[in-house]
Structure 1
């Protein structure tokens, strides 16, 4: 029974990932139902390279997710950003699946401030998809772009596009990694409360709407929740923030497929006191 379930879920994941070639990364974003296009941290590498233009200290993050609590549907990822004299250089990767089906996305990016309130970034990623040794491995290169604008001290608007050139997976039926457009807003109501919202459009798929909240009652603790539609998923989690270290835990719930736990760790170098 378990093997049948894994087979079915793997098939669903293949359909989804071949369409997208991208997965949300980091438990902070996961706890807010994948609202990440306006957030600024190391995992912005996976959500909006433009946001990395506002990074002030070198930062590295690692994350792990087990989709529907199955090790065969696990994702590991890494992201790093290093400010230069002009701009920010970044690198990252995500690795999904198991021996029979595995996808890889890894690359480099560069971001910079265009003004005190606007930043933009570009990214080049290597993509690979392996479906059982008998079918071999497909390779590709994708380009991404993102921008973030701080409209004022409380309101941010972010935009990103994944796979600008619609990289081809196979000539059969013109199979391609999907192009994803994301537009989001975040509003810092107070020092304790952040609201985020986002719209995602993947070509040939339904539009997804998301909303999330982050509550920061004390310096150490963050409490988060979110919801997204098409299909409907609920999310919640919390984070612990120390001087240079952030530890985040999250889970998402689908009423048909169950729970998706995730954890991530971010370390900031030379963090200002």
Structure 2
């Protein structure tokens, strides 16, 4: 019965979002919070590399989710970034699926400021898929790029493109990674409240509008919630942070497929005092 349900789930996934094994479901806020001067973190850098340009310290994140509580759809991602003399260097690793079908990704990114109003980022990726048994494996290369424009001290907007030229899988020669385009805007209403919106268009898929907010009732506590229209899903997260580390428990709920729980661990180093423009950002 479980295998039959999984087959239905995989069929639905194609119509819902072809790149579901790449982009976090239980942490949709990773995209919107990239458009915040205060709250962008290492997780945001995985979605829009330009957000790393505002970091002034070492940051790392470990993210894991179990999509719809299915072992076959587990996902683990890790990212880290460190400041250079000019800009920020980052790396991104991803593993999703199971022994029967798995996807992997390794990426190397660079981001920097272009003046006081614009940040830009670029990442090159190596993708792999393995289907076990006699089906073997295949690989592909892609790139992604993003930019963020600081419209004011509180409002930031930007765009991101992933795989615009269509990287092809090595063995098939015809199958390719989908192109994904996104646009977002964020508003830092105060030191403790942020709200953002992101519009995501994946090749051959409907447009998804993702909106959410972050609220910090106490310095150690942060609450997040939001929605994603493409899958009619709602999500919520509760996090704790103190002295350079953070822990967030998050979950998304699909009306038919159920709950996708996730956990986020973050760590950050000491900030560079010379970069005053980002001194208040969170890890």
- TM-score, length-scaled by structure 2: 0.88
Pick closer, same or farther for the CA change 1:87–1:48 going to 2, 3 Å: same
| 1:237–1:250 Cα contact (<8 Å) kept | yes
- 1:194 aligned onto 2:194: yes
Residue matched to 1:131: 131
Distance 1:73 1:86 in 2: 39
Pick closer, same or farther for the CA change 1:248–1:216 going to 2, 3 Å: same
Residue matched to 1:35: 32
Distance 2:267 2:252 in 1: 24
Give the SS at the match of 1:89.
strand
Distance 2:152 2:144 in 1: 26
Q: Which moved more, 1:129-138 or 1:67-76?
A: 129-138
CA RMSD of aligned residues (A): 2.3
- TM-score, length-scaled by structure 1: 0.91
Give the SS at the match of 1:176.
coil
Distance 1:136 1:223 in 2: 43
Distance 1:77 1:173 in 2: 27
Residue matched to 2:55: 55
Instruction: Give the drift of 1:246.
Output: 1.2
Instruction: Give the drift of 1:181.
Output: 0.5
Pick closer, same or farther for the CA change 1:106–1:172 going to 2, 3 Å: closer
Q: Which runs of 5+ in 2 are unaligned?
A: 273-278
Distance 2:79 2:44 in 1: 8
Q: Which moved more, 1:107-116 or 1:258-267?
A: 107-116
| 2:33–2:186 Cα contact (<8 Å) kept | no
Pick closer, same or farther for the CA change 1:133–1:10 going to 2, 3 Å: farther
Instruction: Give the drift of 1:166.
Output: 0.8
Residue matched to 1:23: 22
Distance 1:114 1:4 in 2: 52
Q: Which runs of 5+ in 1 are unaligned?
A: none
| 1:212–1:227 Cα contact (<8 Å) kept | yes
Give the SS at the match of 2:42.
coil
Q: Which moved more, 1:34-43 or 1:142-151?
A: 34-43
